[in-house]
Every structure is written in C-alpha cells, then in structure tokens.
Amino acid sequence: MLNVEELETGYGKKQVLFGINLEAVEGKITAIIGPNGSGKSTALKSIFGLIPVWNGNVIYNGEPIANRGTRANVNDGIGFVPQGNRVFDEMTVLENLEIGGLHLRRDRFKEELKKMWGLFPELEKRKKQNAGKLSGGEKQMLALSRALIMTPKMLLMDEPSLGLSPKLVTFMMGHIRKINHEFGATVLIVEQKVREVLDLCDRVYSIKLGKVAFEGSPEELQKDKGKLKHLFL
Amino acid sequence: MSLTQTLVNSLSAAAVYALVALGFALIYNTVRFFHFAHGIVFTGGAYFVFLLKVWLGFPLFFSIIVAIGLSAILGCLIEISIYRRLRHKGASSLILLLASLGVYVVLQNIVSMVFGDDIKTIRSGMVEEGINILGTKVTPIQIAIIAVSLSLLVSCFLFLKYTKIGQSMRAVANDPELACASGIESDRVILATFALGSALAGIAGILVALDVDMSPTMGMNALMMGVVAVIIGGVGSIPGVALGALLLGMAQHLGVWKISSQWQDAIAFVILLIFLLFRPQGFLGRKIKKVTI
C-alpha cells in the first residue's frame, strides 16, 4: 500500500534521514520506533508532505506522492494525526471535526460524524466546548476523530501516546486496533512506548541516526531484549 | 457641541476604526506579523474611488464597488508578490514587518506622485446639512458609515463561524501546521484572508473619503487607530474589535468635547499603554504568552 524508497530529508540544510526504505502493508499496523531525535517523526511528516522530500520516492497504491501537498493526500485517503494531542484549541469540538471533514459533502459529513460520536461518546457530550479545555485523553480522541472523519484508507500517527497516562495509553492502543480492524484502515505509527506498540503492530522498523537499523516482526524484538536495548542506545 | 452630538460623532469614528481593525486583525491572526501596508490599502480604497469618479467620470456607486474590488486585489498582490515569497524562504516576522513597512512607503509615494500631496475630496457641491434627530445633527454619510460597519462586522462573524473558507481561516490562524495536516492549503487561505481584510480596509478608506476628504498619508493614522482598537478589544475576537473601536472612538471624542482636538491621538495611545500594562489581552482576547510583531 505504501512504499518508501531511499527517502532523504531534513530541516533547512540539516539532513535528518539518509535513504530510508520501509513498507506499510495494506490492512496491517506498521510501527516505527527508535530513540529521540532519530528521525521517526521526520519520516512520517515527509511521507505526508508536511516537510519536503529531498530525494527518494514515496509510493502510495502504485502512485508517486512525494511533495504533492497534504490536501491531495487527504483527498486520496491518507489521514495524519500529529504529535502531542494537537487540536484547534480555539475552536469547538464540533468545529474541529468540521475542519477534518472540510472536503466532505454535508450529508456524508453527518454520517461520518455519527460514527465518530459512536466511537468516542465523550466527544459528543462536549461538542460545543472549546477543544482547548478538553483533557489530554479527550484531545487525543478528538485528534484521532478529526483524521478518521475522512474515512482514510491509511492513517499516519505520530506518537499518539505522548502525554497520556498509562491507563489512557492502553485505551488509545485499543482504539487504534479497533480502527484497524473495524474501519479497515492501514496504520503507520511512530511510537516511543515500545512495549505497547510491539503488542499492537504487525511489523516494526527501528530508525537510528536517520537510517533503518532494524526491520522485522515485533515478536523478534520482544524475544531479543538485547537487540531492542541496542536499538535505543 | 452637545453630549449626544459627541456620542454620534464617536459612533461614526468607531465604525471606521472597527472596519480597519477587523481587516488588520484577520490578517494578523493568520500571518502573525504587523501588516503595515494595510494602511496603504485603506488609502488605496479612497483614491481608487477618486480616480474612477472624479478623473474617469464613472458613477459614484459603480466607482465604490470597483474600488472595493481593487482594494482586495491590491492586498492580494502584496501577499503574492512580497509576503508569500518571503514566507517560503523562511523569513521571520521581523523581516516581514520591515518588508511591509517598505511596501507602505513605496505605495504611499506612488499615490503622492500620481495624485499629488494636496487634500482631495470626492464630494461635489456643498456639504450636506445633517438630519436633526432629537436635537442632534446626523449626516447621511454618518448613518451609512455606522450601518455599513455594523452589517460588515456581523457578516464577518457569521462568515468565519459558518462557512468552510471562514473556518479554514480560523484553523490556519489557530495552528497553521495542524491546518496543513488536515489538508488545508495555507497559501490559499492566507490569500483569501488578505482579500477579505483588504476589502474591509478599502471600504473604511472609501467611507472616510466620502465623509471628509483624503490625502496620501491618511492610511497611517487609520492603521494606528485600528491597531489600538484591536489591542483594546483583544486579538482574535470580532466582538472585542467592535468594543475596542467603540471605546476608542468614545474616549477620543469625549476628550475633544472636554479638552481639545489636538489631544485626540494622545488619548488613543494613553489608552493603549494602559491596556498593554494592565490588560494586554484586551477586553475579550485570550491570554497570550508570546507576541510576534
């Protein structure tokens, strides 16, 4: 579904990624792990078009999509959930979802909105409340719903557990699995909470110093604690 | 001058300040730098009408409509040719402010070269006497200024709240990166904001030109009053902008009533200083940790 080939990118003149390759298989959950500053989030942002790809290809359903802009990606069924429970905090919960579904027809939006209220009933209760006043967990639910309302075929998630309590992390991981199973969305997730994400994903990549240092099944890493430790040192 | 007459005059001034302030605030909220050239768009509105009506002989109503459109186009051209290029090169807010100041000076000089530095007027014939309402003289143009300003404030509030493009403007103003991640094209939204904000500035300039007269430097004072109204009212709030403009207009005209007209600008800036010191978020604005110029 998504193939990243020899991807190079960075910020200004500073190169962060040095030719990474990865694949997200349709219907599966693929995780990217690695130490702080290794380039995980940068990889996700460049795949989605938030920062330019310097070299290499991003192929989505057989089509090159590198540097084509986020609007085209959203319209093509790619959703993005940024790091840090980010919501439009000066807008209401409903308005946040309206922004997520900006490119949908009104009747279709209403249908999708019902699904989101079903998935996260807490949000419906607070639909007229400013999103800035939500708790961390509720913000993450809203961030997820905002991306889901376009019924993406592929969901890119940047550290959804950041800033959440352990209980909420478990809750959120459960929902990501549900989204993958029930909504049929392919998930590419960047995560620091290694234990939780290894329980969740079907395939895992580890990025270290801007290069792919490991590629394989989560079980492989779960069995070999030494290798896992090495990837984070 | 009676108190009621002073109140009518202050309402009329507040209505103009509110339009300038609203246009400025819309643009500032989206691009986060001090768009000095907003002042020259205000001047442009007045001079476009002068050009079309007085020099080219078009009817007044037609001239006003075209001038509003030309003001919006002027704002968009400044955005596309200067600001967007600088933004894409990663320019800071300070660089954008300096560029904006440069645009203001260059365009003001062009206005001076083309039209001359002398005071001009759109009106032909004698100044109309005001209508007597409960002992207070209100001119038709004052009524028009207040009505136009009120209806535009309400329309803008509804536009930003209920239309897709209005919501996109608020989203970009709130969090540009998140807006981009939601599939909103920031450049298009910023351009639409410049069009709307500049049209509002152009309308304010036209109303002032119809009420009194015009000169190439008229924009700077209007811009300053607009900015003071934004700060008093609170950045990011349309009702706040209206309230700020009203307070500013009232304070200035009550000052003129009791003291002297030469203190009008000083009163505005004293109020500004008081707000900056004791309530920097204004009446209805949110508390901000950091301000970009």
Q: Is residue B125 situated within a structural domain?
A: no
CB contact under 8 A, B183 and A70: yes
Q: Is residue A233 predicted with pLDDT exceeding 70?
A: no
Work out how many domains chain A is built from and give that number.
1
Residue A67 near chain B (CB below 8 Å): no
CA A93 – CA A139 distance, rounded (Å): 9
Q: Contacts of residue B167 in chain A, CB cutoff 8 Å? A: 91, 95, 98-99, 102
Q: How many contacts does A have with B, using Cβ atoms within 8 A? A: 62
Q: How many domains does chain B have?
A: 1
- 3-class SS of residue A201: coil
Helix extents (H) in chain B: 3-31, 38-49, 60-78, 84-88, 93-115, 140-162, 164-174, 176-181, 186-211, 218-233, 238-258, 264-278
Nearest CA to B136 out of B214, B232, B50, B253 is that of B253
Give percent above pLDDT 90 in chain A: 69
**Structure confidence at residue B70 as a pLDDT band (50, 70, 90):** very high
Instruction: Please determine, for residue B126, whether its predicted confidence score (pLDDT) is greater than 80.
Output: no
* Number of helical (H) and strand (E) elements in chain A, helices listed first: 10, 10
pLDDT of residue B292: 53
Which one, of A1, A23, A31, lies nearest residue A219 by Cα? A31
Asked if B194 and B78 touch (Cβ cutoff 8 Å), the reply is yes
- Check residue B142 and give its pLDDT: 92
pLDDT for position B172? 94
Q: Residue A78: which pLDDT band, with cuts at 50, 70 and 90?
A: very high
In a domain, B130, yes or no: no
Asked if pLDDT for residue B117 goes beyond 70, the answer is yes
Q: For residue range B197-213, what is the model confidence (pLDDT) as tens digits?
A: 999 999 999 999 999 89
B9 vs B98 pLDDT, higher one = B98
Q: How far is B55 from chain A (nearest CA, A)?
A: 45
Q: Which residue has the higher pLDDT, A84 or B167?
A: B167
Instruction: Pick the most confident of A214-228, B52-66, B233-247.
Output: B52-66
To the nearest whole angstrom, how far is the Cα of B174 from the nearest Cα of chain A?
6
For B271-286, write each residue's pLDDT tens digit. Answer: 999 999 998 888 887 6
| Domain interval for residue B52 | 3-117+160-278
Between B174, B177, B181, which is nearest A91 by CB?
B174
* CATH code of the domain containing A184: 3.40.50.300
Answer whether A90 sits within 8 Å of B236, measured CB to CB: yes
The answer to whether residue B289 scores a pLDDT higher than 80 is: no
pLDDT given for residue B127 in this prediction: 64
Nearest CA in chain B to A90: B174
Task: Give the whole-angstrom CA distance, residue A159 versus residue B172.
Answer: 23
A49 lies in which domain range?
A: 2-231
Quote the minimal CA–CA distance from A3 to chain B in Å. 20
| DSSP one-letter string for A96-159 | HHHHHTTTS-HHHHHHHHHHHHHH-HHHHHTTTSBGGGS-HHHHHHHHHHHHHTT--SEEEEE-
What would the two tokens of residue B44 be?
């442009």
What is the structure's pLDDT at B290? 56
Q: Say yes or no for a CB contact (<8 Å) between A99 and B90.
A: no
The pLDDT of residue B125 is: 66
Residue of A45, A76, A87, A88 to mutate when probing chain B, most B C-beta within 10 A: A88
| CA end-to-end distance (rounded Å), chain A | 31
Q: Which of A71, A82, A95 sits opposite B178 (nearest CB)?
A: A82
Averaged pLDDT for residues A46-50: 94
CB contact under 8 A, B185 and A80: no
**Cβ contact B184–A99 (<8 Å):** yes
